[in-house]
Structure 1
Amino acid sequence: MDRSTTDAFRELYRATYDDLLVFVERRVHLAVADDVVAEVFLTAWRRFADIPAAHDQARAWLFTVAHNVLRNRYRSDDRQQGLALRVVREPATHPGPEADGVAARVDLVRAWQRLSRDDQQVITLTAFEGLTGRQAAQVLGITRPAFSLRLLRARHRLRQHLQAATPAPHRPHPTATPETGASR
């Protein structure tokens, strides 16, 4: 590689490393995330001529490579980790106003875990990674309309799981009075 290409690669690395690392850390154990990102940039170095010149397109290209590296790792290691939300669970010493927030987070985690890996992935690409629909479709190797349909269905399933996890509001039952035995 000549000097200008090396400089362009360094700039691409600086501009995208943190985003790629976060993307990968959401999918694999933190101990292997650096290795996955290193593999992505090794591929980028070897195939630098294939990377689009526009920053947004180059970023999407790198996310596509990361997606493929992760997919290969899942296959070869037979991992079922997929995408997961990591929530620190601290036991509450007393119920307080934050109890509802904790319950909502627990419900969200449970609903998220009930989604398929594919559903988790399409939601994560747009919600957490900030990719456009076009870029996310490119990462997955599908058309923009196909991605939009997958995202719509994944969001619908997440809402269904959340609704199923949310208990119905408590309604007090009438009580009987000792004198009459009738309800008040």
Structure 2
Amino acid sequence: MRPFPDVDDPAGLVARIATGKDRSALAALFGLYGPRVKSMMLKLGASDALAEDLVQETFLTVWRKAALYSNQRGAASTWIFTIARNLRIDQLRRQSNKPYEDLEKVTLASDAPLGSVMIEQQQVIERVTKALALLPQEQQQVVQLSFIQDMPHAQIAETVGIPLGTVKSRLRLAYERLRPMLDDLQ
């Protein structure tokens, strides 16, 4: 027999904590999830002592915020582990010893691509466009719908008014024709 009869219903335990600040429900949750939360903290790089402190802080938060839990938004275990993870993140932020920089003095590299990259991209686009122009019209159409408009094969079949198998065979034939022309681009 288990020491806590309600461990099969963690959401019920959280509800009991929320309604009446039931210490036995908290003890049951702690017995069920405490070792798991500690293990998670150790895996996240916390020392043994820090892991134990974070476990206690996790269940103190569960005690204080039990009324905020909703089983419609997820399992009680997910809620508890999220609290624990957030406490670990907060702890890591507090211990960070990086000095803060004045944002006005920080210079960032431009996100714009280099000129040579843009030229290479343009050349690739031109080659692909020329290769596509060599395909029969029905193959061009399914390739454009599939890759440019990102349509699923079933929607292409419906749009063009052809069977799904025909869409797939036209794409396969197009690949076979394009592969030798564009093989060096991979």
More contact order relative to length (CA 8 Å, sep ≥ 6): 1
TM-score category by the smaller chain? 0.3 to 0.5
Q: More helix per residue: 1 or 2?
A: 2
Rg (Cα) greater in structure: 2
